[in-house]
Amino acid sequence: MALIEKSEIRNVAGINQAQRDAIYHFLQGAVYCWCKNRPKEWFAMRDLMGGDNYYWEGTPLLTLYQKHKDVLGKEWEDAVTGAAKDSGWLLKRVIEDDKRNFKTKKEGLVRMYKWDGDSSY
């Protein structure tokens, strides 16, 4: 199940399996929350973890920023951009592995998702 329209899914390097699993579980919870509260609305990573939720301190997503800042030596803005891209790829994997089906589309550089609303599985 998962993505109705197939598209490329990339792996994110530079984090270990435990970090990856923690991020997957965290994002899965965010997706479930979105689908419960806004089942007919499209969403992107920035809707789940941007805007008022941009501050990732205390979440597993901070690992992505730290990878770009501390390991790759990027300045703040570039580290934020790199972490955002990584988080988008990880969200796509979470959606792909979900038991539910999601529609997907691209708006500019942003990948959007929408639950198909079928809960019969």
Q: pLDDT (tens digit, 9 = 90+) per residue, 31-87? A: 999 999 999 999 999 999 988 888 899 999 999 999 999 999 999 999 999 999 999
Residue 8 has pLDDT above 90, yes or no: no
Distance CA 112, CA 104 (A): 6
**81-104 b/e (C-beta count within 10 Å ≥ 16 → b):** ebbbbbbbbbbbbbbeebebbbeb
